[in-house]
């Protein structure tokens, strides 16, 4: 049995304070809700989840490719197949992400204190473009040689060639399989937690009728 | 090129790429097709009714 002093000490611990703060910001029923607002009955709301599904395939196939190495993805049938899965899941990732972006842009999805949600989406998009470029450079074929010699002029023109040298294969591979995937995955996770915390943005017409909490009100 | 090598692609990808030039804009047909597909998918996502369980729209 804890005394009043012990309880006060427990309440003052940083772990206790952090847990209470996190649970208050994102209670489990908001993190994994049972129902969604009625206004989400449209296919346009599906594209964020589709983007994350594609990203999962990108990461899983990328892990396999990095473990097996270039000779495997160039020369074996299964290596070719996994390499193609990696490429096409990236194509779908960008395809779905851009439709998600258009949808959220026309909804003005930064409304209702959701600016950070929008900003994390923008940063993910930029990091993903970098991951795409370094991915092309990591292929170890004539394409990657051509793209790197073309890209070096652009990168030098903006003055960062000394730090981000597209002709340095080892550096580009590290960016592609370590730095940028961690950035994309971490910011996507933050983006998702912000979406769950703030709720899905209500349509402009609904909001005009009065304040709405996107995560709670009008459950379908 | 062997027939087996061509099975992987719907069209022959061995030739040089095709480009559309419009003023200062120059874009490959492949990229233009992908952008067109994205626009079509975007419009379809808004226009096609989203049916939920129980047949309610």
For residue A211, what pLDDT band results from cuts at 50, 70 and 90?
low
Distance CA A65, CA B26 (A): 34
| Residues A23-79: tens digit of each pLDDT | 998 999 999 999 888 899 999 999 999 999 999 999 999 999 999 999 999 999 999
Does residue A194 register a pLDDT over 80?
yes
Range in A1-15, A47-61, A87-101, B37-51 the model is least confident about = A1-15
The terminus-to-terminus CA distance of chain A in angstroms comes to 45
Chain B environment of A51 (Cβ under 8 Å) = none
User: Taking a C-beta distance cutoff of 8 angstroms, is the pair A37, A218 a contact?
Assistant: yes
Got the DSSP string for A21-57? HHHHHS-HHHHS-S--BGGG-BGGGGHHHHHHHHHHH
Distance CA B6, CA A42 (A): 39
Got the DSSP string for A66-123? HHH-HHHHHHSHHHHHHHHHHHHHHHHHHHHHHHHHHHHHHTTTTTTT-HHHHHHHHH
Contact A175/B at CB under 8 A: no
pTM over 0.90: no
| Residues B1-57: tens digit of each pLDDT | 555 555 667 777 788 889 999 999 999 998 999 999 999 999 999 999 998 765 444
> Of A15, A21, A90, A11, which is closest to residue A56 (Cα–Cα)?
A90
The encoded tokens of residue B2 equal: 């062997």
Strands B25-28 and B19-22: antiparallel
Distance CA A114, CA A212 (A): 13
Chain B environment of A98 (Cβ under 8 Å) = 38
Q: Which residues contact A30 (CB under 8 A, 6 or more apart)?
A: A196, A197, A199, A215
Interface residues on B facing A, Cβ-Cβ cutoff 8 A: 34, 37-38, 41-42, 44-46, 48, 50, 52, 57
Does residue A219 register a pLDDT over 50?
no
Which of B4, B10, B34, B41 to probe the A interface (max A CBs under 10 A)? B41
Q: What is the mean pLDDT of chain A?
A: 92
A99, B45: Cβ pair inside 8 Å? yes
Chain A environment of B48 (Cβ under 8 Å) = 43
The encoded tokens of residue B36 equal: 């067109």
A99, B44: Cβ pair inside 8 Å? no
Chain A nearest CA to B31, separation (Å): 11
Write down the ipTM of this complex: 0.84
């Amino acid at each position: 049995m804890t005394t009043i002093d012990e309880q006060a000490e427990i309440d003052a611990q940083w772990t206790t304070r952090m847990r209470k703060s996190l649970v208050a910001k994102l209670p489990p029923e908001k993190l994994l809700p049972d129902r969604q607002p009625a206004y989400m009955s449209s296919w346009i709301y599906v594209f964020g989840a589709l983007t994350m599904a594609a990203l999962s395939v990108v990461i899983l196939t990328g892990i396999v490719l990095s473990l097996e190495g270039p000779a495997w993805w160039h020369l074996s049938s299964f290596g070719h197949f996994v390499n193609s899965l990696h490429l096409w899941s990236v194509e779908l990732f960008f395809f779905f992400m851009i439709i998600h972006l258009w949808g959220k842009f026309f909804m003005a999805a930064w409304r209702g204190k959701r600016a950070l949600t929008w900003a994390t989406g923008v940063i993910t998009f930029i990091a993903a473009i970098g991951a795409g470029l370094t991915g092309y450079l990591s292929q170890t074929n004539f394409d990657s040689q051509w793209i790197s010699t073309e890209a070096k002029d652009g990168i030098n023109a903006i003055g960062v060639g000394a730090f981000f040298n597209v002709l340095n294969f080892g550096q580009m591979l590290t960016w592609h399989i370590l730095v940028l995937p961690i950035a994309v995955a971490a910011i996507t996770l933050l983006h998702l937690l912000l979406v769950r915390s703030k709720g899905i943005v209500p349509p402009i017409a609904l909001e005009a009728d009065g304040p709405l909490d996107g995560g709670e009100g009008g459950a379908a | 090129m062997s027939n087996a090598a061509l099975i992987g692609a719907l069209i022959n990808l061995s030739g040089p790429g095709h480009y559309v030039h419009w003023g200062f804009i120059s874009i490959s047909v492949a990229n233009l097709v992908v952008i067109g597909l994205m626009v079509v998918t975007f419009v379809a996502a808004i226009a096609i009714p989203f049916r939920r369980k129980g047949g309610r729209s």
